[in-house]
Amino acid sequence: MNKFLKNIKNFITTYDLLPKVLSILLALILWANLQNSQIDEISYNLYPEIRNLATDLVILEDIPNIRVTIRGKKEYLKSINLSTIKLFIDLSQPFIGKKYRYGIQIKDNEWTNVIDYILEKEYIDLTIHKIKNKNVPVEPIIVGNLVQQFKTGIVIVEPSIVKISGPEPIIDEIKMMKTYPINISNEQHTINIESRIDTSKYSKIVVYPDIVKVIIPISHIANLVSITVPIEIKNRNAELNYNLNISKVIVFIKKNASFELDENAFYAYINGDIESSYQGTLSMPVFVEKKGKYPFNIFSFEPSDVEVTITSIQR
């Protein structure tokens, strides 16, 4: 090894290479320093953090990610940890109920004084509303056709009422929530199924519970008996006339030899509680109840709603 080093030394001395080697080393050091001193930039897509939003408020829009370009010396850029770069939107003083422009800010850190930050956009338009809670009924959505000679009965939903929570103007518009479609094509037996509540049409709402149990009775018509029952008007307004396009409903129950079916066992009605000033045609739901403690349940009835023309009584 010593002999090898001695030979190298003699070679450098003989050909006067020492100044040249030192020049090359110095050039490499200068080049490396120049590279680290050059200005460069890196871009990231980051989601701004929402700060100071009251718990009883909600943002209507989805928050997009924002492109951040960091510009500075390469030696600094190499040392930056992405987790230290934080964007935030301060909502401590929100404007309720209308769209307003809020600033996007960068959290101060050890690099903010030596690095330039360039935001894709410095403001974002957001709509903030009060959170409202409400209980609404659930409507099961049934699709498909049964095999011939089979009928569906009154569908049962458990629970029949769910709690919804979200932006006040959206909650105010919702009268009921629907399930995702339940297909009954070619079924011949009662269906018991769990179905999720469909929230796809609404923004930023929460439903509890978001899954309900749906029972769809199915029976062959040979196992049913029917009777026609007149439709009465409950809570009638004495100042109005009610003209129903259909005046009777057909009520179906399961066959039972222990009793004789009679229309007096049922009470079919519409709710006539309408303001005196109204005139026009309404589609109104029909309700059917048992009048006593009969040993049977109503399987189904039809129609489930009727058109009612409302006119004022001329005096």
Tens digits of pLDDT across the chain (315 residues)? 555 555 555 555 655 545 655 555 655 554 455 454 566 678 888 899 999 999 999 999 999 999 988 877 776 666 676 677 889 999 999 999 999 999 999 887 666 566 778 888 899 999 999 999 999 999 999 999 998 899 999 999 999 999 999 999 999 999 999 999 999 998 999 999 999 999 999 988 999 999 999 999 999 999 999 899 999 999 999 899 999 999 999 999 988 755 677 778 899 999 999 988 888 999 999 999 998 888 888 999 999 999 999 998 876
Beta carbons of 295 and 259 less than 8 angstroms apart: yes
Output the pLDDT for position 264: 84
Integer angstrom CA distances of residue 90 from 10, 50, 107, 123, 167:
72, 6, 11, 11, 20
User: What span, in angstroms and rounded, lies between the C-alpha atoms of 182 and 180?
Assistant: 6
What token pair was written down for 94? Answer: 């929100």
pLDDT at 23: 57
Closest listed residue to residue 36, CA positions, set 70, 76, 79:
76
- Residue 159 has a pLDDT of 96
Q: Evaluate the CA torsion angle 303, 309, 310, 315 in order and state its sign.
A: negative
- Provide the pLDDT for residue 14: 59
> Does residue 166 contact residue 58 with C-beta atoms inside 8 Å?
yes
pLDDT score for 36: 46
pLDDT recorded at residue 233: 94
Give the pLDDT of residue 73. Answer: 72
Q: Are 264 and 232 in contact (CB under 8 A)?
A: no
- 66 neighbors 120 (Cβ within 8 angstroms): yes
Cα–Cα distance, 24 to 28 (Å, whole number)? 6
Strand, helix or coil for residue 194: strand
How far is the C-alpha of 100 from the C-alpha of 89, rounded, in Å? 13
Specify the DSSP element, H or E, that contains 221.
none
